[in-house]
Structure 1
Amino acid sequence: MARRPLGPGGVEVTELSFGAAGMGNLYAPITDEAAAAALDHAWQAGIRYFDTAPHYGLGLSERRLGEALRGRDRSSYVISTKVGRLLEPADEISGDDLADGGFAVPRTHRRIWDFSADGIRRSLESSLTRLGTDRVDVVFLHDPDHHEEEAFREGYPALEKLRSEGVVGAIGAGMNQAEMLTRFVRDTDVDAVLCAGRYTLLDHQALTGLLPAASERGASIVIGGVFNSGLLADPRPGARFDYVEAPPEVLARARALRTLAERHGTTLRAAALAFPFGHPAVASVLVGVRAPGQVTDAAAQFAARVPDDFWREARAEGLLPAEVPVPWARARGSAGSAGSGASPGEEERP
């Protein structure tokens, strides 16, 4: 599978990446064996970038990911984790984490927001222990929405110091919004940011400021949430869009896109996975998976060709604005061949 640079620091990631929240029992439990099998299928599909966080299952995702990767050539894959939430042992174990965090695990720990320099280092040290490795390649500040000033004043400089010391290869922030990520790209020297849900077939918020800023500054974007909570995977009545039931007009648009995709011999899932690569700042698309079948499907849909006529008609029918760049058909596995929104046959930006 093709790889792309994650900013200027030398870290390279596969275009399709493995989101390991499911390995932390997101919404429902899975077994250790199922988690390991999902990663094995991802490895067989050529995926070599794996994203996790302490938040995911109160550390369970990191532990399972580390165990599943153990014994593989450490130089052949990339791990990113996140900082900003410390895990402190709970005074007593009562119930599970579903209501608080969305993970089906015993409430053995409590999350403490901490973007201080000391908190960043403590969080990373704990993550290394859970992962069973001596290094991670990428560290993101995780969801600093309500801790903006501390994140910029203390958290980011701490990450910059870790990078200068060679402890990590690339740094950035991961959020479900584009505005603050744009500030990170413009006002700091981040290598990359992880933007979830804000650059999809249905949501183009990141195109206003974040993506142009990244291109200007030489930063990379990892796109998460390309299915917008499931609507773009299966646009059925009652499907979720950004964690709530999709409004009727959004559901109708998703269903129209699905009909158009099927008319052109492809799928809505394939189009959703391909779409972000219309912009040259995008380095990877992160897909959350929890079962081998999901990995197999994601890899197959990612490799599928989405015809140019799909993108032309999506624009002509008003399903995509004319100014949104699209990925004209390309052979998967050719790094740097994503289109910039120019017409087929015109020069494409690397």
Structure 2
Amino acid sequence: MDPFARVPLGGTGVTVTRLGMGLAPIGGLFTPVGDEAAVAAIDTAWQQGVRFFDTAPLYGAGLSERRAGLALRGRSDAVLATKVGRRLVPAPGATGGMWSEPSGASPVWDFSTAGVRRQHRESLERLALDRVDVLHLHDPDEHFAEALDDALPALVELREQGLIGAVSAGMNQSAMLTEFARTGLFDCFLLAGRYTLLDQSGRKDLLPECERRGISVICGGVYNSGILADPGGNATFDYAAAPPAVVAKARAMAEVCARHDVPLRAVALQFPLAHPAVASVVIGMRSAAEAADAAAMAAVEIPGGLWHDLIRTGLLDAGVPVP
């Protein structure tokens, strides 16, 4: 696999590298990062060949977007995605939840038509760029009607005006994305954690629907928040302590990989790209070292015997596409 080959998103003119960089970590996810380290992470990913970057206002309440803008300014070959659905409001000194660095702002839900237009403008201001290529509806789980009736038409209008290249939605579930796919108005989706070595639930509904309709899928969360990078004693699965059965399965997969002298995280990264609906895999990277490692894992040659052993031992279903 060439992780830096460019492939199209749906029927749009937007093309992305098979390996993309997720910019949630540089927003201070769980631990502080700082501007210098964030820019160094993006610089390293760029030097390796990554040209697709995915951010959101939520990530560090604006910090990720600001830092992405610092690093990507003047790099016209970059393809950038951001998100709408959470509007930032002033909140001096505020931090909370997963975000460890104060940005002076806090997110509030807003899928209104006017809110989407405003969020798009404000993202461009934080990025200090004149365009984003992909705009996702972000986590509309509890806001389906408003996202469909108000936010989606605003995204379609932005696309028609040439202000964005692709209309998308990003979620941690496949069922609602499948409903969105049936509208015929989306170019791509960001599916987080639902098409991985441990969880292929997106294969039951979303991926076949997207394949039929020519909608591209971008896979995020392919390490399932860490367990497929390191299934050790403190492994997390979907941002919580991993259940024992999940830990046991991940460790069994790691043992198969070790017999073939291949890191588990390389297999986890490359696995989703075998599905014909999947255009890109987005890996969260918080440092130059993590960016270099992701590029190295994307380039690892994985022998066919490894995939055969995962299927033979029941760790992967026999019908699942593999590279």
| Band of TM-score, shorter chain | over 0.9
Alignment partner, residue 340 of structure 1: none
- Residue 18 of structure 2 corresponds to residue 18 of structure 1: no
Alignment partner, residue 270 of structure 2: 274
Q: When the two structures are superposed, what TM-score results if normalisation uses the length of structure 1?
A: 0.90
- From 96, 99, 105, give the equivalent of 1:98: 96
Query: What is the CA deviation profile of residues 252-279 of structure 1, one whole-angstrom value per residue up to 9, with x for unaligned ones?
Result: 1100111101111211011001100121
- From 260, 265, 271, give the equivalent of 1:264: 260
- CA shift, 1:28, in A, is 0.9
- Residue 90 of structure 2 corresponds to residue 89 of structure 1: yes
- From 173, 176, 192, give the equivalent of 1:177: 173
- Residue 110 of structure 2 corresponds to residue 114 of structure 1: yes
Instruction: Give the whole-Å Cα distance in 2 for the aligned partners of 1:299 and 1:134.
Output: 28
Deviates more, 1:295-304 or 1:102-111: 102-111
Alignment partner, residue 142 of structure 1: 138
Other structure's SS at 1:33 match: helix
- Residue 65 of structure 2 corresponds to residue 67 of structure 1: no
- CA shift, 1:107, in A, is 6.1
Alignment partner, residue 31 of structure 2: 28
AA partner of residue 199 (structure 1): Y
Instruction: Give the whole-Å Cα distance in 2 for the aligned partners of 1:33 and 1:244.
Output: 29
Other structure's SS at 1:23 match: helix
Instruction: Give the whole-Å Cα distance in 2 for the aligned partners of 1:11 and 1:70.
Output: 19
- Residue 163 of structure 2 corresponds to residue 164 of structure 1: no
- CA shift, 1:280, in A, is 0.5
Alignment partner, residue 338 of structure 1: none
AA partner of residue 262 (structure 1): A
Alignment partner, residue 48 of structure 1: 51
Residue identity over aligned pairs, in percent, reads: 53
Query: What is the CA deviation profile of residues 70-98 of structure 1, one whole-angstrom value per residue up to 9, with x for unaligned ones?
Result: 132x1x110000001111113xx35x423
Contact 2:55-2:81 within 8 A present in 1 as well: yes
Contact 1:27-1:98 within 8 A present in 2 as well: no
Structure 1's unaligned 5+ residue stretches are 328-350
Deviates more, 1:203-212 or 1:237-246: 237-246
Q: CA RMSD in A?
A: 1.0
Other structure's SS at 1:187 match: coil
Instruction: Give the whole-Å Cα distance in 1 for the aligned partners of 2:259 and 2:217.
Output: 31
Contact 1:32-1:64 within 8 A present in 2 as well: yes
Alignment partner, residue 4 of structure 1: 7
AA partner of residue 122 (structure 2): S
Alignment partner, residue 192 of structure 2: 196
Other structure's SS at 2:169 match: strand
Deviates more, 1:24-33 or 1:209-218: 24-33
Instruction: Give the whole-Å Cα distance in 2 for the aligned partners of 1:213 and 1:169.
Output: 21
Contact 2:63-2:103 within 8 A present in 1 as well: no
Alignment partner, residue 80 of structure 2: 79
Instruction: Give the whole-Å Cα distance in 1 for the aligned partners of 2:254 and 2:78.
Output: 34
Alignment partner, residue 232 of structure 1: 228
Instruction: Give the whole-Å Cα distance in 1 for the aligned partners of 2:16 and 2:174.
Output: 21
Aligned pairs for 1:213-224 (under 5 A) are: 213-224=209-220
Structure 2's unaligned 5+ residue stretches are none
Other structure's SS at 1:47 match: coil
AA partner of residue 21 (structure 2): F
- Residue 307 of structure 2 corresponds to residue 311 of structure 1: yes
